[in-house]
Chains A and B, each alone.
Chain A
Amino acid sequence: MKILVCISKTPDTTAKIAFTDNNTKYDTNGVQWIINPYDEWYALVRAIELKEADASIALHLISVGGADAEPILRKALALGGDEAIRINIDSDDSFVIATQIAEAAKTGGYDLILTGKETIDHNGSSLGGMVAELLDLPYVSLATKLELNGTTANVTREIDGGQELNEVPTPVVISAQKGMAEARIPNMRGIMAARTKPLKVVEPVACEALTTTVSFELPPAKAGVKLVDAENVQELVRLLKEEAKAI
């Protein structure tokens, strides 16, 4: 059994959002990079749990990005991956990223490919579906639980107003969200071990970007809060009805 977890690098959740170069580039000045929370807390930790239950599982990590993605991959290795692949290309087009991952997966022979629900910077929620389509594999998205049973994956996924239990044959692509696993902190042994684990750098295959980000904007600033006295909730109701027209 081989598992591939897709790891992306995102700004820390408290990072300031600002843009440079005439609002065409994200200002990375002073930004701390982290593993995208959905990839780390849910996809990766669940994969590690599966490996802990079955030592024969090989757990590979993949990230598509420049050299600055390596500290992120090392941290993921410290949490528990066996080896990591970095595809050496920076792109903000999901199709380009998906093509690279699909290419690597073709030769890797993975039974399970896990992604996070979405990246907290691009908010695409699109990579997993694209990889699945490029490999012609089934795709279960927004999974909250995952069990393996031989060549069958039992996946619980979010549906409108509830949950659904799916049974799907491997190989399969699954996107993970909250519920899958609990966040972990790497321990000293893991961090030491990660230093010597293989991190392979692979050059990208040629692929045309289907989209181009032309500019960014910040939302218009709020006018400021209007405070209503706690003894006068009727006034809040009136404002919501007449001024904000929200109820």
Chain B
Amino acid sequence: MILVFLDNVSGSIKKSSLEALSYGVAVAKQLGTEAQALVIGSANSDLTELGNYGVSKVHQVTGPEAFDAQAYARIVSDKSNELNASVVIFSHSLMGKALASRVSARLKAGLVTGAVALPDTSNGFVVKKSVFSGKAFANVKINTAVKAISLNPNAYTAVLGEGKAEVTTTTVSVDAKVKVVSSTKSSSDRTLTESEIVVSAGRGMKGPENWGMIEELADVLDAGLACSRPVADAHWRPHHEHVGQTGVAIAPNLYIAIGISGAIQHLAGVNRSKVIVVINKDPEAPFFKAADYGIVGDAFEVVPKLTAALKVGA
């Protein structure tokens, strides 16, 4: 069977985990087996609803108060052993990254992180993953009987059907070494990697005082906000918005880059976006070469017009 670990962030299952769940169901079909889900901690929603994604069983394990990779890895590994899982699937999220690697080492299960497609099982078990910061893909063969995969957010679409899952809840006692002292939330629970549309701006905006129009555009599109590295370095915008080779790597359906030149290190973090729109006053800006649509013009004029046009169309 296939076991899919679902990130449970303050009681809700993340979108990227639902993608992983659908991916797990598809892998199960490929291998002629079934997929089941694992949730750690208490949930705010009805877990039987996860049946809509095609799983018959949800294993809920309560006990841990907060995320501790060591404690969680034990729970996931024990469940995987108990259920005889042949593939353990995670989302390549903040939690998934910390956990998949530990589970892989614990189970001696070969791991492919950042998977972008279903495995090719025609000759062994080969998973395609993103490498060179989005500039290429590698096909990686897993040599072990038990396999582990973490799926890139936005790489596989969650498929919603109908069904009810049976939920079994067990409680374990944990000895977590990591203690949470405090936490601060900047905005929504949604991380940039999960946004389907991202509006991003660079040094062409001249200063942080001009971000109002960027935020308005993001608002009408219900988009996430990003920026280039010099913008974060100058503290015009918070660090977590910095995308690129040394920032966050994203792959939204639509990436709108405003006043960003398109340096190779910037492109490395965004070139897996499905559609790229570039707004830049310099027709020679390298970003146009990586774009699908472009407007050569002054952002200070184009962006408010675009926001207005979108409002009319909405």
Query: Which residues from chain A sit less than 8 Å from chain B, CB to CB?
Result: 11, 13-14, 17, 19, 37-38, 41, 93-95, 98, 120-130, 132-134, 136-142, 144, 154, 158-169, 172, 178-179, 208-219, 222-223, 225-230, 233-234, 236-237, 239-241, 244, 246-247
Give the distance to chain B from A243, nearest Cβ to Cβ, in Å. Answer: 9
Of all chain A residues, the one with the shortest Cβ separation from B193 is A160
B293 close to A225 (CB less than 8 A): yes
Instruction: Give per-residue flags for B229-267: 1 if the beta carbon is below 8 A from chain A beta carbons, else 0.
Output: 000100000011010011101000110000000001100
A94 CB, min distance to chain B CBs, angstroms: 7
Tell whether B133 is near chain A: CB-to-CB under 8 Å.
yes
Contacts of A239 in B (CB 8 A): 293
Provide the bound-state CA to CA distance between A50 and B198, in Å. Answer: 37
Q: Which residue of B lies closest to A211 (CB)?
A: B110
Interface contact B179-A166, CB-CB below 8 Å: yes
Q: For chain A, what secondary structure do more than half of its interface residues adopt (helix, strand, loop), or is it mixed?
A: mixed
Residues on B with beta carbons closer than 8 Å to the beta carbon of A13? 245-246, 264-265, 268
Contact status A223-B111, CB under 8 Å: no
Q: B160 within 8 Å of A by Cβ? A: no
Contact of B245 among A120, A128, A179, A227 (CB under 8 A): A120
Interchain CA distance A98-B113 in the complex, whole Å = 15
Can you offer 26 A-B residue contacts whose CB atoms are under 8 A? A13-B265, A14-B264, A14-B265, A19-B136, A41-B246, A94-B101, A95-B105, A125-B92, A126-B100, A129-B100, A130-B104, A130-B105, A132-B69, A137-B70, A139-B70, A159-B9, A160-B7, A162-B184, A178-B247, A210-B104, A217-B137, A229-B295, A230-B295, A233-B295, A233-B305, A236-B293
Instruction: Tell me if A161 and B186 are in contact (CB < 8 A).
Output: yes
Is A166 touching B100 in the complex (CB atoms < 8 A)?
no
Also in contact, A161 and B189, with CB within 8 A (given A138-B178, A210-B104, A213-B138): yes
- Does A246 lie within 8 Å of B254, measured CB to CB? yes
Docked-complex contact A222 and B136, CB < 8 angstroms: no
Q: In the complex, A163 Cα to B265 Cα: how many Å?
A: 25
Q: Determine how close the nearest CB of chain A comes to the CB of B75; give it in whole angstroms.
A: 13
B218 to chain A: closest CB distance in Å? Answer: 12
**Assembled-state Cα–Cα distance A179/B105 (Å):** 28
* A158→B249 CA distance, assembly (Å): 15
The answer on a CB contact under 8 Å between A162 and B105 is no
Q: How far is the CA of A162 from the CA of B190 in the complex (A)?
A: 10
Question: In the complex, which of the residues B93, B113, B291, B298 contacts A126, with contact meaning CB atoms closer than 8 Å?
Answer: B113
> Are B277's CB and A234's CB within 8 A?
no
Supposing A160-B9, A213-B139, A219-B137 touch, asked if A165 and B296 sit within 8 A by C-beta, the answer is no
The 7 closest A-B pairs by CB, nearest first: A129-B101, A230-B297, A210-B110, A126-B101, A133-B105, A162-B185, A246-B254
Which residues of chain A are near B253, meaning CB under 8 Å?
Answer: 246
A161-B186, A161-B191, A210-B110 known; A237+B310 contact, CB < 8 A? yes
Residue B43 interfacial (CB < 8 Å): no
Contact in complex: A233, B306 (CB < 8 Å): yes
Check if B183 sits within 8 Å of A165, measured CB to CB.
yes
Is there contact, CB below 8 Å, between A246 and B274?
A: yes
B105 close to A216 (CB less than 8 A): no
